[in-house]
Amino acid sequence: MNDLIDRLRQTFPIDAVLTAAANLPFDDFFSDDCLLAIKHNDQDLEPDHSYPVRLVVPRPYAWKSAKWVRSIEFINRDVPGYWERFEHGGYHMRGDPWAEERFRARGGD
């Protein structure tokens, strides 16, 4: 995995990762505790519970874990995912609970 990360970073100016539901920093996506799950308790995920793939991002407190992942896009700047867009809640781009980052301020991150 580290070889893939190094090659991606050498080839493209990647700073963030975007799924249809969430954005997150590149380093969080490739952290050792982040995973793409296709099973739960040795059973395939069901449609009501994230089939075909669920992104599990433990930090900060699983805020950026996304259900029903169908695509992953590597981008050169952090942009709002579905829930970070103001029309869908305007949640904070990072969401650090200890810094009280729940919602984005209008006109900024």
37-61 tens-digit pLDDT: 899 999 999 988 888 888 888 876 6
Distance of CA 101 to the CA centre of its chain: 16
Looking at the structure, give the CATH architecture of the domain made up of residues 2-99: Alpha-Beta Complex (3.90)
d(CA 30, CA 35): 8
Bridge partners (DSSP) listed for residue 75? 16
Could you tell me the pTM of the whole model?
A: 0.71
